[in-house]
Amino acid sequence: MSVGTSSRAGRSEELRNALVDTIVADHAAKGLAMPADVERAMRKVPREAFTPGVPLERAYENTAVITNRRGEETTSSVSAPYLIAEMLGQAADALGGLEGRDVLEIGSGGYNASLLSELVGPAGSVTTVDIDSAVTDRAVACLESAGYSDVTVVCADAEHPVEPGRRYDLIIVTAGAWDIPSVWREQLTGDGVLVVPLRTFGMTRSWALRRSGDRLVSRSHRQCGFVSMQGDGGHRMRYVDVAAGVHLRLDENQQIIPDVVADVLTQPRREAWAGVSLPPRTVLADLDLWLAVRLTREAEEFLMLTAQEAAVESGIVAPSWRFGTPAAFDGGTFSYRSALRWTGRLFDLGAYAHGPEAAASAGRMVEHMRAWLDAGSPSPVLQVLPARTPDGDLPDGTVLDKRHSRIVLTFHTSSSR
Ligand SMILES: C[S@@+](CC[C@H](N)C(=O)[O-])C[C@H]1O[C@@H](n2cnc3c(N)ncnc32)[C@H](O)[C@@H]1O
């Protein structure tokens, strides 16, 4: 090993380049391209400057580094590098580049703000806001030590205007939101972009939304997970235990009687399969939102099922993804998307159901899956309109009413055009 690479700075550079190589490859595997300037910034900014007290190797793992906890709950972290790269890519694509842009980051730490500072360059500006003064104090110190003292750091609840009177080309939110307060839209320039991890139907996606008058229209979305928004815009997810290690995640205004579901899970399981043979890298990310939209229309309740490893191993449930699987409860029957069924290197999609109408419910769920595949695996478009928007002015789609906004999710298929 040469003297250069044995130094801490050399080792840091080596680890950083290896991490970025991994992220670039991961993007390619997902069919995404990392913009060249995002890649350049990620190869330059030393992540360890924003993770003080953490071993160098840990700072370059492709995961979040937790920096604050309140009880069991994580309240702040330095976000996972691959996710930061994807969201910066969404922003750069939606705006056609970030150089010279004025940016507001909601949720601080310093790492993402310094990447943004590299991307906007001297002609642009970066303001980062956090509700927690411990986070902003640390961010100021870390930004200073890494040489990014041109970033403005504000301690405030970003549910309200951050620098009154200022407009930004980009607002990038790095905490999980349930709603879009109108001040976020109002702080954008006329065609500015909001990148936000937004929860709909209990599922969080990072949406890049472009402003068009008083509405925001999605340009892209990515799967993601984030610590929850705090303050006046906080909205807790509720979990209901229905069996040992099996929970239902309730969002929006969903209601469920836990005992009824617990009972139903003890009844025999019926299954249905789509009868398809899909290759391993088939992207299913939008299938769950498609199911949410379809099942919300026809079932009493659409819910997300989560399960602990032990519950899956013991066979109580066999969900498609134990951290969040689409499920429905209707007329005493409970159904959910099952784990994939592999035959050699190909897999099929299925549904499991328990209750009086189990076979029919499972069958209906796989029909929806087949319909999504037959329609060419479409992606949804999400539009955000002010809460006061009358029904007649809403675009076609499934409407979720939040506190400040009406959110409309639309899948454009050849039959709906
Ligand atoms: C995942 S961390 C941010 C990571 C950071 N952007 C980075 O560079 O790695 C999320 C942050 O959002 C902050 N936050 C949560 N609710 C907020 C609110 N209403 N206004 C401003 N900040 C908030 C939390 O305090 C937390 O520090």
Domain boundary among 121, 143, 175: 175
Q: Are residues 141 and 17 in the same domain?
A: yes
pLDDT of residue 256: 75
Structural domain of 273: 238-374
Taking the model in full, what pTM does it have?
0.95
pLDDT tens digits for the chain (417 residues)?
444 446 999 999 999 999 999 999 999 998 999 999 999 999 999 999 999 999 999 999 999 999 888 877 888 899 999 999 999 999 999 999 999 999 999 999 999 999 999 999 999 999 999 999 999 999 999 999 999 999 999 999 999 999 999 999 999 999 999 999 999 999 999 999 999 999 999 999 999 999 999 999 999 999 998 999 999 999 888 888 888 999 998 886 677 777 777 788 989 999 999 999 999 988 898 999 999 999 988 877 899 999 999 999 999 999 999 999 999 999 899 999 999 999 999 999 999 999 999 999 999 999 999 999 999 999 999 999 999 999 999 999 999 999 999 999 999 886 554
Q: Are residues 159 and 245 in the same domain?
A: no
Residues recorded for the chain = 417
Q: Are residues 163 and 242 in the same domain?
A: no
Number of structural domains found in the chain: 2
**Tokens coding 190:** 């006329």
Q: Determine the Cα–Cα distance for residues 405 and 10; give it in Å rounded to an integer.
A: 49
Q: Are residues 158 and 255 in the same domain?
A: no
**Three-state DSSP state, 132:** coil
Q: Are residues 145 and 287 in the same domain?
A: no
Whether 107 is in the pocket of ligand 1, judged by its Cβ within 6 Å, is yes
Q: Determine the Cα–Cα distance for residues 167 and 181; give it in Å rounded to an integer.
A: 15
Q: Are residues 18 and 161 in the same domain?
A: yes
**Residue 408 forms part of a structural domain:** no
Indicate if the alpha-carbon torsion angle 101, 107, 108, 109 is positive or negative: negative
**Three-state DSSP state, 399:** strand
Q: Residue 129 sits in a domain of what CATH number?
A: 3.40.50.150
Q: Determine the Cα–Cα distance for residues 249 and 239; give it in Å rounded to an integer.
A: 5
What are the C-alpha distances in Å from 228 to residues 117, 206, 282, 349, 364? Answer: 25, 13, 30, 31, 34
Catalytic residue flag (residue 12): no
Q: Are residues 32 and 115 in the same domain?
A: yes
Q: Determine the Cα–Cα distance for residues 89 and 227; give it in Å rounded to an integer.
A: 21
Ligand 1 atom closest to the CA of 68, numbered from 1: 27
**Residue 414 forms part of a structural domain:** no
**Residue 262 forms part of a structural domain:** yes
Q: Are residues 76 and 147 in the same domain?
A: yes
Whether 111 is in the pocket of ligand 1, judged by its Cβ within 6 Å, is yes
The half-sphere exposure of 137 on its side-chain side, counting CA atoms within 13 A, is 5
Calculate the CA 376 to chain-centre distance.
Answer: 23
Q: Are residues 161 and 275 in the same domain?
A: no
**Residue 227 forms part of a structural domain:** no
With the most atoms of ligand 1 within 8 angstroms of its CB, the residue from 136, 138, 230, 236 to mutate is: 230
pLDDT of residue 349: 98
The contacts of residue 60 (CB under 8 Å, 6+ apart) are 12, 15, 16, 18, 19, 47, 48
Q: Are residues 264 and 365 in the same domain?
A: yes
pLDDT of residue 231: 96
Q: Determine the Cα–Cα distance for residues 121 and 107; give it in Å rounded to an integer.
A: 21
pLDDT of residue 2: 46
With the most atoms of ligand 1 within 8 angstroms of its CB, the residue from 50, 108, 126, 140 to mutate is: 108
Whether 127 is in the pocket of ligand 1, judged by its Cβ within 6 Å, is no
Q: Determine the Cα–Cα distance for residues 23 and 34; give it in Å rounded to an integer.
A: 9
- Measured from the Cβ of residue 240, the count of other Cβ atoms closer than 10 Å reads 17
Q: Determine the Cα–Cα distance for residues 357 and 270; give it in Å rounded to an integer.
A: 9
Q: Are residues 154 and 284 in the same domain?
A: no
Q: Are residues 243 and 134 in the same domain?
A: no
The half-sphere exposure of 235 on its side-chain side, counting CA atoms within 13 A, is 19
